[in-house]
């Protein structure tokens, strides 16, 4: 199965190469193809993919869109924007930048926010270590490196704060093709710089496609980033997300990921806290239903003393869906005074839903504060009874408790407009939420 | 209003209530006292409709209806209110939204229209004063991070807003400081009227100095072994439960 897929993508690459409008990055592409040729796609024998079978993806043989992307309904695009929050917006259709749909807001001097297509091949930024960061993790990062054709480059110079959020919207799906897109986003914050970046992934309803995204984040000393990834792909879509975060001294990254859509979604977040004082917060929420499969793998490496991580993932599983959470934390020997906290809580709404959760802690330093916990359960009977004893009917009480469980993950998002949007999206995915409107607002 | 007849209730293999009889008429205040583990909270919970208990036999009539035919939420809408011994914390569910939904649910059931935001706030303000509830608690999650006393006060506040016909207060006095005890007692007293019945579960006759009951019952090992007036509580305080237990055995 995997060999057939590999030869498909090698052949696809031969055609794709001719269409490359920005033929940069030749070396890494070749290396990526080599990787693919040698290693193929992961199977369930690969430890990292033990619970996630990718054959539904490899069987599909996705292609790169060759024709101009089909027009997308304006109302659909508008529904993805934050109407009451000014954002610098970049919109992509099937992986290609659409200037017409994007909106520019004034940015501070020296800040670069541009689609990769418009980056000059010899631009020094492109060669920034966070982009060519060499390591190819698996077939999907290889595929991304080989086929990357667009994406966003964000560079915020030292001591500069970008007040308005930068919103990147990826809209995918075409009725008559099974397309793939391989966006690559680079966020590099200078010393003491600050920014908020939102990535939204959405699909034309009922279309089948693969989004294979790679985002690299570099936070230099004293920088601060608010990062959101909102995955609401079509119910038939496949989504692979790779996020690599590297942080220098006293930098802070707050990362919020929401996994709501897709038939099969796999998200990897790898964080390296490379210098003292670096702090990361990873908040994640996944809501699954029907036959959805969602897999979240996180890796946090504490490499130096006085680094901090707070990780909190929650999931609500309904129908015949399945979720996987694997949270690995490595505290290296020299990383004394590290604080690392991780928790993963899961709510199973259906007897046919399943979750595999696995915290993995490797601690090589001795003066550290670490904690982890994973729970899988149903709604709390005491809470249910309390609500019912106040006259709330059982359906409503269940819906309310489910919503409250999920909502906790997004409660401290600092932009009210983003929080409200996400509350709305969460309510849209959970059962009976029409019953709880008056509790919610 | 409430007639309990030979009620036997168990959980797992354990029988807790072993043939309990109790009649509460409209407008009466009954105090139930008894040693730890005797089944007081079990009784309160069964009346409110908690379903992890097994009702083995016996009947409970509320307003002439079989109480066991009603789901917990239906009992609440029919005017039963339980102030919990251990109010549960519900993160993410806003205290005031819950109360508004609860009140409007009850009103709807009574064929009354829902209160709008302004009317509701008026009721809330008035009842908050009654139990001297801190306004900052309103917009927090239900009981989350509340102190023990704040939780109890919140229960009484909810009771005041929901205006039940049968209120069951399970050790609402436990964990309250002297001032809070007084406030809560005053709150309860002001809600006392000829159409409302109140069942107080308590360990302390001190509460009964403030809320003077019409009847005092001793619940021991799943049965009411003695009933009397206000004086029974005073006697219990002096002599302890062994005294009633011995007398009951002798009888
Ligand atoms: N879920 C349960 N599983 C097993 N036993 C239970 C359960 N709930 C109550 N019991 C037992 O039933 C008995 C009565 O408990 P209950 O809470 O009704 O006592 P109580 O009179 O309210 O005591 P207290 O004064 O301490 O509040 C106790 O022995 C208790 O351990
Ligand atoms: Mg009790």
Task: Tell me, in angstroms, the distance from the centre of ligand 2 to residue B170's CA.
Answer: 7
Residue ending a domain, choose from A254, A275, A296:
A275
- The pair phi, psi for residue B54, each rounded to 5°, is -105, 120
Q: How close B250 gets to chain A, by Cα (Å)? A: 40
- A389, A405, A412, best to mutate vs chain B, most B CBs in 10 Å: A389
Mind listing the pLDDT tens digit for each residue in A306-362? Answer: 999 999 999 999 999 999 999 999 999 999 999 999 999 999 999 999 999 999 999
Distance CA B76, CA B69 (A): 13
Q: What contacts B133, CB < 8 A, 6 or more positions away?
A: B127, B153, B154, B157
Rounded to two decimals, the pTM is 0.92
* Residue B116 contacts residue B123 (beta carbons within 8 Å): no
Q: Kindly report the backbone phi and psi dihedral angles of residue A266, in degrees, each rounded to the nearest multiple of 5, phi listed first.
A: -130, 130
Sequence-ordered strand ranges (E) for A35-124: 63-64, 88-93, 96-103, 112-115
3-state DSSP helix/strand/coil % of chain B, to nearest 5: 40, 30, 30
Contact with chain B for residue A401, Cβ under 8 A: yes
| Ligand 1 pocket check for B38: Cβ under 6 Å | yes
Q: Which atom of ligand 1 is nearest to the CA of B171?
A: 27
- Residue at A315 is within a domain: no
Q: Using CA atoms, how far apart are residues A223 and A278, in angstroms rounded to an integer? A: 9
Q: Which domain holds residue B24?
A: 2-250
Determine the Cα–Cα distance for residues A230 and B31; give it in Å rounded to an integer.
56
Give the closest ligand to the alpha carbon of residue B40. 1
- Cα–Cα distance between A392 and B248 in angstroms, integer? 42
CA dist A92 and A99 (Å) reads 9
**Given the CA of residue B34, which atom of ligand 1 is nearest to it?**
21
Confidence band (pLDDT; 50, 70, 90) for A441?
low
Q: Please report which confidence band the pLDDT of residue B251 belongs to, taking 50, 70 and 90 as the band edges.
A: confident
**Inter-chain residue contact A438 with B88, CB threshold 8 Å:** no
Burial A76-96 (b: 16+ CB within 10 A, else e): ebeebbbeebebbbbbbbbbb
Taking an 8 Å cut-off on Cβ atoms, the answer to whether B105 and A391 are in contact is yes
| Those residues with Cβ within 8 angstroms of residue A430's Cβ, 6 or more apart along the chain or in another chain | A287, A316, A399, A402, A403, A406
**Rounded Cα distance, A428 and A252, in Å:** 31
Please indicate, yes or no, whether residues A266 and A411 belong to a single structural domain of this protein.
no
DSSP string of A328-352?
EEEE-TT-TT-EEEEEEEEEE-STT
State which residue of chain A sits closest to B144, comparing Cα positions.
Answer: A383
Residue B42's domain is classified under what CATH number? 3.40.50.300
Residue B142 reports pLDDT greater than 50: yes
Answer yes or no: is pLDDT of A207 > 50. yes
Q: What is the pLDDT of residue A169?
A: 98
Q: What is the distance between the alpha carbons of residues B137 and B20, in angstroms, rounded to a whole number? A: 38
- Give the percent of chain A with pLDDT over 90: 83
Evaluate: CB of B33 within 6 angstroms of ligand 1: no
With contacts defined as CB-CB under 8 Å, which chain B residues touch A384? none
d(CA B194, CA A153): 74
Chain A residues with beta carbon closer than 8 angstroms to that of B93 = 387, 400-401, 404, 439
Chain-chain contact of A438 with B92 (C-beta, under 8 angstroms): no
Give per-residue pLDDT as tens, B122-138.
999 999 998 888 899 99
- What kind and span of H or E run contains A35? helix A26-39
Judged by DSSP in three states, B78 sits in coil
Tokens, residue A63:
């292609």
- Residue A99 is classified by DSSP as E
What phi and psi values does residue A316 have, to the nearest 5 degrees?
A: -125, 120
Q: Does B11 touch chain A (CB under 8 A)?
A: no
Task: Give the Cα separation of B171 and B85 in Å (integer).
Answer: 5
With an 8 Å Cβ cutoff, are A407 and B92 in contact? yes
Nearest neighbour of A392 by CB, restricted to B92, B101, B109: B101
Q: Based on the number of CB atoms within 10 Å of its own CB, is B29 exposed (0-12), middle (13-18) or buried (19 or more)?
A: buried
Query: In terms of C-beta density within 10 A (0-12 exposed, 13-18 middle, 19 or more buried), how is residue B81 classed?
Result: buried
pLDDT on residue A134: 59
- Of B35, B40, B82, the residue with max ligand 1 atoms within 8 A of its CB, to mutate for a pocket test, comes to B40
State the smallest CA–CA distance between residue B144 and chain A in angstroms: 12
Residues A238 and A78: their CA atoms lie apart, in Å, by 23
User: Is the model more confident about A210 or about A132?
Assistant: A210
| A220-to-A114, A153, A217, A224 alpha-carbon distances in Å | 20, 16, 10, 9
Closest partner CB to A385 (pick from B72, B94, B100): B72
Query: Going edge to edge, which strands form the sheet with B2-11?
Result: B14-24, B2-11, B54-62, B65-66
Q: Are B15 and B56 in contact (CB under 8 A)?
A: yes
- The protein residues having their C-beta less than 5 angstroms from ligand 2 (an ion) are B 40-41, 85
CA distance B2 to B48: 12
B45 close to ligand 1 (CB < 6 Angstrom): no
**Residue A347 structure tokens:** 């709510």
Expressed in angstroms and rounded, the spacing between residue B51 Cα and the centre of ligand 1 is 15
In chain A, residues with a C-beta closer than 8 Å to the C-beta of B84 are 386, 389
**pLDDT given at position A234:** 97
Average pLDDT, chain B: 94
3-class secondary structure, A210: strand
Q: Please give the residue range of the domain that contains residue A439.
A: 386-441
User: CA B150, CA B141: separation in Å to the nearest integer?
Assistant: 13
Q: Identify the CA nearest to A349 among candidates A378, A314, A380.
A: A378
Question: Looking at the predicted complex, does its ipTM rise above 0.90?
Answer: yes
Residue B249's Cβ-side half-sphere holds a number of Cα atoms within 13 Å equal to: 8
CB contacts, 8 Å: A438 with chain B: 97, 100-101, 104
Secondary-structure breakdown of chain A: helix, strand, coil percentages, each rounded to the nearest 5: 25, 40, 35
**CA dist., res. B37 & res. B42, Å (int):** 9
Phi (first) and psi of residue B234, to 5 degrees: -65, -45
- Whether residue A129 is predicted with pLDDT greater than 50 in this model: the reply is no
Residues A209 and A79 in one domain: yes
How many residues appear in chain A?
441
Question: Which of A231, A250, A275 corresponds to the end of one domain?
Answer: A275
Judging contacts by C-beta atoms under 8 Å, the chain A residues touching residue B141 are 404
* The pLDDT value given to residue A130: 42
Q: How many domains does chain B have?
A: 1
- Report how far residue B171's alpha carbon sits from residue B207's, in angstroms, rounded to the nearest whole number: 10
Residue A382 contacts B, CB cutoff 8 Å: yes
Whether B158 contacts chain A with CB within 8 A: yes
Q: Is A291 part of any domain? A: no
Which residues in A lie closer than 8 A to residue B102 (C-beta atoms)? 390-392
| Chain A CB contacts of B87 below 8 Å | 386
How far apart, in whole angstroms, are the C-alpha atoms of residue B76 and residue B82? 9
> Is B168:B83 a contact under the CB 8 Å cutoff?
yes
Whether residue A127 is predicted with pLDDT greater than 70 in this model: the reply is no
Tokens 């998200």 locate to A267
Q: Which two tokens stand for residue B31?
A: 């105090």
CB-closest option in B52, B102, B141 to A390:
B102
With CA atoms as reference, the chain A residue closest to B108 would be A391
Q: What is the pLDDT of residue A132?
A: 53
Question: Minimal CA–CA distance to A165: which of A102, A228, A84, A87?
Answer: A87
Question: Considering A275, A305, A329, which residue would you say is the last residue of a domain?
Answer: A275
pLDDT tens digits along A350-402: 999 999 999 999 999 999 999 999 999 999 999 999 999 999 999 999 999 99
Which of A378, A391, A393 best tests the B interface by mutation, with the highest count of B CBs <10 A? A391
Count the alpha carbons within 13 Å of A9 in the hemisphere toward its beta carbon: 32
pLDDT over 70 (residue A124):
no
Number of domains in chain A: 2
Question: Which residues contact residue A81 at a Cβ distance below 8 angstroms, ignoring those fewer than 6 apart?
Answer: A87, A89, A167, A169
Number of CB pairs, chain A paired with chain B, less than 8 A apart: 81
Please check whether residue A423 touches B, CB under 8 A.
no
Mean pLDDT of chain A: 93
Any atom of ligand 1 within 6 Å of the Cβ of B40: yes
């Amino acid at each position: 199965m995997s060999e057939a897929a590999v030869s498909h993508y090698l052949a696809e690459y031969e055609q794709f190469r001719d269409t490359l409008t920005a033929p940069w990055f030749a070396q890494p592409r070749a290396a990526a193809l080599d990787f693919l040729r040698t290693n193929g796609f992961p199977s369930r024998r690969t430890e990292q993919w033990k619970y996630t079978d990718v054959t539904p993806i490899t069987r599909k043989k996705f292609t790169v869109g060759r024709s101009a992307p089909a027009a997308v309904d304006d109302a659909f695009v508008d529904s993805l924007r934050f109407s009451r929050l000014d954002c610098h917006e970049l919109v992509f259709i099937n992986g290609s930048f659409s200037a017409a749909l994007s909106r520019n807001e004034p940015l501070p001097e020296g800040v670069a926010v541009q689609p990769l297509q418009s980056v000059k091949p010899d631009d020094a930024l492109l060669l920034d270590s966070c982009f060519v960061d060499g390591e190819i993790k698996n077939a999907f990062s290889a595929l991304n490196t080989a086929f990357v054709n667009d994406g966003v480059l964000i560079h915020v110079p030292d001591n500069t704060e970008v007040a308005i959020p930068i919103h990147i919207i990826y809209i995918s799906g075409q009725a008559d093709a099974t397309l793939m897109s391989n966006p690559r986003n680079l966020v590099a914050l200078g010393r003491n710089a600050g920014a908020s970046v939102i990535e939204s992934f959405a699909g034309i309803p009922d279309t089948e496609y693969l989004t294979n995204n790679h985002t690299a984040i570099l936070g230099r000393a004293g920088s601060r980033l608010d990062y959101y990834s909102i995955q609401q792909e079509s119910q038939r879509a496949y989504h692979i997300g790779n996020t690599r975060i590297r942080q220098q001294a006293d930098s802070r990254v707050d990362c919020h990921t929401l996994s709501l859509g897709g038939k099969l979604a796999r998200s990897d977040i790898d964080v390296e806290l490379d210098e003292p004082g670096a702090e990361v917060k990873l908040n994640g929420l996944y809501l699954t239903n029907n036959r959805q499969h969602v897999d979240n793998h996180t890796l946090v490496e504490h490499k130096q003393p006085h680094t901090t991580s707070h990780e909190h993932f929650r999931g609500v599983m309904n129908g015949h869906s399945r979720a996987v959470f694997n949270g690995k934390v490595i505290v290296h020997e020299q990383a004394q005074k590290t604080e690392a906290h991780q928790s993963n809580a899961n709510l199973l709404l259906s007897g046919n839903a399943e979750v595999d959760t696995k915290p993995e802690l490797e601690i090589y330093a001795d003066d550290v504060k670490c904690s982890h916990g994973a729970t899988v359960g149903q709604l709390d009977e005491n809470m249910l009874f309390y609500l019912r004893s106040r006259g709330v009917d059982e359906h409503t009480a269940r819906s309310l408790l489910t919503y409250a469980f999920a909502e906790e993950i997004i409660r401290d998002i600092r932009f009210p407009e983003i929080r409200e949007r996400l509350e709305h999206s969460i309510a849209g995915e959970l059962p009976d939420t029409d019953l709880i409107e008056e509790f919610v607002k | 209003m409430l007639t309990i007849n030979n009620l036997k209730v168990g959980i797992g293999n354990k029988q807790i209530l072993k043939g309990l009889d109790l009649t509460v008429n409209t407008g009466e205040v009954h105090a139930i006292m008894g040693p730890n583990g005797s089944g007081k909270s079990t009784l309160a919970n069964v009346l409110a409709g908690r379903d992890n208990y097994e009702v083995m036999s016996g009947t409970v009539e509320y307003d002439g209806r079989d109480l066991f035919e009603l789901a917990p939420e239906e009992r609440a809408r029919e005017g039963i209110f339980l102030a919990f011994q251990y109010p549960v914390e519900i993160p993410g569910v806003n205290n005031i939204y819950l109360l508004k939904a609860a009140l409007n649910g009850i009103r709807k059931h009574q064929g009354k229209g829902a209160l709008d935001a302004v009317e509701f706030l008026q009721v809330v303000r008035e009842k908050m004063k009654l139990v001297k509830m801190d306004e900052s608690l309103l917009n927090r999650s239900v009981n989350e991070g509340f102190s023990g006393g704040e939780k109890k006060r919140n229960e009484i506040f909810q009771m005041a807003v929901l205006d039940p016909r049968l209120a069951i207060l399970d050790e609402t006095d436990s964990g309250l400081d002297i001032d809070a005890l007084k406030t809560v007692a005053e709150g309860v007293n002001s809600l006392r009227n000829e159409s409302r019945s109140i069942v107080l579960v308590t360990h302390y006759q001190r509460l009964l100095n403030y809320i003077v009951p019409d009847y005092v019952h001793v619940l021991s090992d799943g049965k009411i072994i003695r009933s009397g007036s206000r004086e029974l509580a005073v006697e219990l305080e002096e002599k302890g439960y062994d005294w009633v237990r011995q007398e009951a055995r002798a009888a």
